[in-house]
Amino acid sequence: MAAIVVAPLVALVVASTRQAYAALDRAAEAGRVTRNTAFAVSVNTLVHELQRERGLSGGYVGSGYRTGLDQVAAQRTKADEALNAFGARAGGARPALAAASVRVALDDAEAALRGLDRQRAAIDNKALDVAGTLSYYTGAITKLLAVDQAMGNVIDDPEAARIAVAFVDLSESKEFGALERGFMNSVFSAGRFGPGDYGRLLTLVAEQEAWFALFRTTADPEVVRYYDQHVRGPEVERAAALRAQALAEGAEGRDPSVRPAEWWSVMTVKIDLMRDVELRVAEELRGRAAAVSADANAAVARDLAAALLVVGLSLALSVFTARRMARTLRGLRDAAHDAADVRLPAVVAAHPRGRRVPEAHAPQP
């Protein structure tokens, strides 16, 4: 009888517990997204500062190591601050990085960053050309952005995943814009297009526009409107005009006449404005994670309450059923005892004389 009573109760409790665990998993996933978003912001802050260091270093080397060293030195200090913040965040974030792909991406980025001091020493020793100067920074930045992409790829919530993709798309577009800024800063500092430089400019512009088109497709329309309203102004317009001028001069085989200081100034304003939008998208992702977490926590409370209610009702029903069954069994037991103690002896006693024994009736439960 115990098995008959307990089995339905166990089944109901198991079903309710599974629902509660599913809600707990959703809450844990939302917590991971929140922490990873904070880490992604620190990743992109470091990317932003390394992009500046790359561009200024390229201009310094492109000038023949004549101008821009003070700016490079000042920017290295800012990059080091961002690097220290990234290192502190990475140490705290690593235990929560459940996906192997994210851990591998982070390991690759940290390995690349360990070469930063050697890169700076080579620049200080005037041992690099422009290509060698830019390539290290670009490689390290690419690996850092791969961390963001890996974290976005393992998000379960579809809406949060969409926002993460938009974040990566904008970061990639910004990276090619920053690379255009740094690369052309070195070209303008040199005062000429070197072999392959014009083709490189065309590629950078195309890559930047391709990633930006993806961003416009994946981002929320409100964020796209914010970008259009925010990334604008005289500096942005001047940056576009200087790019068009450089493209025209390169197409005609002429040396560029753009002043590197002006180019760097207006392009930096544009990149900084893009950074503002990048932070806006990160905040949107954080908000989505908070909403998912709140919904999941509410579901946990609801499912636990439902589980307790099911247990209570099941227990009451089981007790009621058990009592009914017990009364029935007691009736059957009494009938059996009556048959054994009364009817059977009567049958035996009456048999020799052919007496008819009245039928025994089982007591009603």
Residues in the chain: 365
In eight-state DSSP terms, residue 357 is P
Q: How many CA atoms lie within 13 A of 263 on its CB side?
A: 27
pLDDT above 90: residue 32: no
The residues, any chain, with a CB within 8 Å of residue 124's CB and separated by 6 or more, are none
- 61-70 confidence digits (pLDDT tens): 999 999 999 9
pLDDT band at 157 (very low <50, low <70, confident <90, very high): confident
Calpha distance 349→352 (Å, rounded): 7
pLDDT band at 155 (very low <50, low <70, confident <90, very high): confident
In the chain, % of residues over pLDDT 90: 59
Calpha distance 243→237 (Å, rounded): 10
Calpha distance 181→270 (Å, rounded): 10
pLDDT above 70: residue 216: yes
- 96-105 confidence digits (pLDDT tens): 666 788 889 9
| pLDDT at 15 (0 to 100) | 64
Of 354, 330, 350, nearest to 342 by C-alpha is: 350
* CA distances (Å), origin 151, targets 96, 102, 104, 167, 248: 11, 6, 11, 11, 41
pLDDT above 60: residue 252: yes
pLDDT above 60: residue 353: no
| pLDDT at 328 (0 to 100) | 75
- 219-232 confidence digits (pLDDT tens): 999 999 999 999 99
pLDDT above 90: residue 270: yes
pLDDT band at 80 (very low <50, low <70, confident <90, very high): very high
| pLDDT at 312 (0 to 100) | 67
| pLDDT at 40 (0 to 100) | 85
